[in-house]
Structure 1
Amino acid sequence: MMTGDDRSVKAGGNIVGSQIITGDNNIAQMKDISVTLTSGEGVDIVAELAGLRQALMELKAGDQHGKIDRALQDAEEEAGKPQPNKDEIGSAVARAVKYAKNASDFAEHGSKIAERLAPVVSWLGENGTKILTLAGIAF
């Protein structure tokens, strides 16, 4: 039992994989979402970005929808070039994910978003994995 402003927590055993939150009006969710990345070979990046767009635009993101849309437009424009710059695409996708995380239902759609992000990140290569971390998805 807590008294006064004491927010200390005493664990009586192993608490690995748990969240302990003190304070008022806090919300926490634990997700167990992970993806397996491939070599990225054979990924149709234009098609995968279109799928990611569909998943992110379905979110309840309010005024963030415009920002998500513009970021994905940047990624799609670059992907359509004969020699697309992976860093530019990765940066644009990261921006879109950053804005999408503000959606009230982002966690609810986590599995679907992870499914859409996996091939994009696989195509981007090692530098793309930061996008998964940003989205809270394990790999």
Structure 2
Amino acid sequence: MSNQVPDQNRSIYVGNDVTGSAMVTGDSNTVSVAFQQASLPQPETVDIKAELIALQEILASLNDPVATGVAQKLKEEASKPKPDKNIVATTLETGLTYGKNLSNFAETIDKLQPRVTAIVAWLGKHGHKLLPLVGLAL
């Protein structure tokens, strides 16, 4: 006799934002969810150029061609008189999403968190989706 549970279709509908929330489906599962709550600085206190350069250096240290490309794009934005928020958000999301799969990404998480927190504050509410990519939530 088999104890296998037949495949079941499960879906979740969310009508709004679930930032900082955890959703789990299943029966008799044990789940452990851990995240740190981020405290964002005031956007006007963020030196975005310095944060982008620091983040660029961290990503370049991962020694991966894609992470290096993302780092270069962040460096280009930092060199502009007024970095473009859309480009920064998209580039950072791409880099962090990709970076999570690199073997040495976990080693840089402590360095990434304060930089990403500052950049998210500068980006405003549209940047909040970046926090979970480095283990943070609001």
Note the C-alpha offset of 1:100: 1.0
Q: Does 1:56 align with 2:63?
A: no
Match of 1:26 in 2: none
Q: Does 1:46 align with 2:45?
A: no
CA distance in 1, matches of 2:2, 2:39: 46
Match of 1:85 in 2: 84
Runs of 4+ that moved beyond 4 A: none
Which sections of structure 1, spanning at least 5 residues, go unmatched? 20-29
Q: Give the secondary structure class of the aligned counterpart of 1:99.
A: helix
Q: Give the secondary structure class of the aligned counterpart of 1:41.
A: helix
Q: Does 1:138 align with 2:129?
A: no
- Do 1:69 and 1:96's aligned partners in 2 also have CA atoms closer than 8 Å? no
How many equivalent residue pairs?
118
Q: Does 1:68 align with 2:67?
A: yes
Q: Give the secondary structure class of the aligned counterpart of 2:77.
A: helix
Q: How much is the aligned-residue C-alpha RMSD, in angstroms?
A: 2.6
- Do 2:70 and 2:91's aligned partners in 1 also have CA atoms closer than 8 Å? yes
Distance 1:10 1:96, change over 3 A: closer
- Paired residues for 1:1-139 under 5 Å: 4-6=2-4, 10=28, 18-19=31-32, 30-59=33-62, 65-139=64-138
Q: Identical aligned pairs, as a percentage?
A: 32
Which sections of structure 2, spanning at least 5 residues, go unmatched? 6-25
